[in-house]
């Protein structure tokens, strides 16, 4: 699955002058546009329901590729945000393109150019009209428009659901028996040798695993992802 955030040059401003940020989710292999939704905010709390809807309808992808903007990355350790922490709990690998390398998301960028021509320029009069334009573009893109990459066929002719169903609850976090397992507090810290090192608030109420990989050096994992290392000499976490 391929995903990108809502770029500034894709914002649609209705007559009410309120910006709508189009959230787009597409399958990289079939070019099928799963979601095209105008949002008032790109914050994680606003986009999560639309990912949940896509996951329920089409199943879980193995990986999601994004750029480095909100809500998919932060300036914190490992770029952790609430949305990509949730993805990792679901067993989804988060792939970020390199900053300033939009060509690494080439197919999605081409789709965005189509989106601008067909549904954003000119902007519609209000939010409802703008969403109707997004919906019409999505129908045309998926079922009518032939794609060279697909041999002239449409994405809907190739779209299939993932065998990985969206679970009713998050999978239990499991770590090897020799790991120290710590729960993250609401302040983004965890208790380690009578100290409270800070790691990330986006990990609140999740569990991390620590493995001593050298004398006094601990590797910090979230599920199978190596986040950082902790040195007992100064208790500073380094990404």
Tell me: the pLDDT tens digits for 44-64? 678 999 999 999 999 999 999
Which residues does residue 96 pair with via DSSP β-bridges, in sequence order? 66
> What is the Cα–Cα distance from 90 to 217, expressed in whole angstroms?
29
pTM: 0.86
Q: Are residues 144 and 206 in the same domain?
A: no
pLDDT, residue 118, reads: 87
Tell me if 93 is assigned to some domain: yes
Q: What is the DSSP letter of 185?
A: P
Q: Are residues 112 and 44 in the same domain?
A: yes
Tokens representing 31 are 């070019």
Tell me if 84 is assigned to some domain: yes
Tokens representing 2 are 């391929």
Tokens representing 169 are 């609850």
Q: To the nearest whole number, what is the mean pLDDT of the chain?
A: 87
The CA-CA-CA angle for residues 59, 184, 217, to 5°, reads 105
Question: What three-state secondary structure class fits 227?
Answer: strand
Q: Are residues 49 and 135 in the same domain?
A: yes
Helices (H), 144-193: none
How many folded domains does the chain comprise? 2
- Contact by Cβ (8 Å): 208, 226: no
Q: Are residues 189 and 151 in the same domain?
A: no
> What is the Cα–Cα distance from 157 to 30, expressed in whole angstroms?
9
Tell me if 171 is assigned to some domain: no
Q: Are residues 96 and 145 in the same domain?
A: yes
State pLDDT tens for residues 171-190.
999 999 999 999 999 999 99
Tell me if 111 is assigned to some domain: yes
Which residues does residue 216 pair with via DSSP β-bridges, in sequence order? none
Q: Are residues 117 and 42 in the same domain?
A: yes
pLDDT, residue 209, reads: 98
Instruction: Give the pLDDT band (50/70/90) at residue 99.
Output: low
Tell me if 58 is assigned to some domain: yes
> What is the Cα–Cα distance from 1 to 9, expressed in whole angstroms?
23
Which residues does residue 12 pair with via DSSP β-bridges, in sequence order? 20
Mean pLDDT along residues 137-143 = 96
Tell me if 165 is assigned to some domain: no
Q: In terms of residue numbers, what domain contains 90?
A: 2-157
Q: Report residue 45: phi and psi, to 5°.
A: -65, -25
State pLDDT tens for residues 141-173.
999 999 988 999 999 999 999 999 999 999 999
- Contact by Cβ (8 Å): 142, 115: no
Exposed e or buried b per residue across 7-23, where buried means at least 16 C-beta atoms within 10 angstroms of its C-beta: beebebebeeeebbbbb
Tell me if 174 is assigned to some domain: no
Q: How many CB atoms lie within 10 A of CB 181?
A: 15
Tell me if 167 is assigned to some domain: no
> What is the Cα–Cα distance from 26 to 6, expressed in whole angstroms?
13
Helix (H) or strand (E) holding 132: helix 127-143
Q: What is the DSSP letter of 201?
A: G
Q: Are residues 74 and 147 in the same domain?
A: yes
pLDDT at 217 over 70: yes
Of the residues 123, 157, 191, the one at which a domain ends: 157
Tokens representing 129 are 């009209």
Q: Are residues 140 and 198 in the same domain?
A: no
Q: Are residues 119 and 195 in the same domain?
A: no
Q: Are residues 20 and 110 in the same domain?
A: yes
């Amino acid at each position: 699955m391929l995903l990108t955030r809502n770029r500034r040059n894709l914002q649609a401003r209705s007559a009410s002058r309120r910006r709508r940020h189009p959230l787009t989710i597409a399958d990289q292999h079939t070019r099928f546009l799963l979601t095209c939704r105008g949002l008032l905010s790109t914050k994680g709390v606003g986009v999560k329901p639309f990912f949940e809807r896509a996951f329920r309808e089409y199943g879980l992808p193995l990986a999601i590729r994004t750029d480095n903007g909100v809500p998919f990355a932060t300036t914190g350790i490992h770029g952790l945000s609430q949305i990509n922490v949730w993805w990792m709990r679901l067993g989804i690998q988060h792939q970020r393109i390199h900053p300033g390398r939009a060509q690494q998301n080439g197919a999605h960028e081409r789709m965005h150019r189509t989106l601008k021509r067909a549904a954003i320029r000119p902007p519609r009069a209000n939010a409802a009209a703008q969403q109707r334009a997004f919906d019409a573009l999505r129908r045309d893109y998926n079922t009518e428009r032939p794609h060279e990459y697909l041999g002239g066929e449409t994405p809907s002719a190739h779209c299939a659901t993932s065998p990985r169903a969206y679970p009713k609850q998050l999978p239990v976090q499991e770590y090897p028996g020799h790991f120290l397992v710590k729960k993250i507090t609401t302040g983004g810290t965890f208790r380690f040798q009578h100290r409270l090192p800070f790691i990330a608030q986006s990990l609140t109420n999740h569990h991390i695993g620590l493995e001593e990989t050298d004398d006094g050096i601990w590797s910090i994992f979230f599920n199978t992802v190596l986040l950082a290392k902790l040195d007992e000499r100064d208790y500073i976490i380094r990404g």
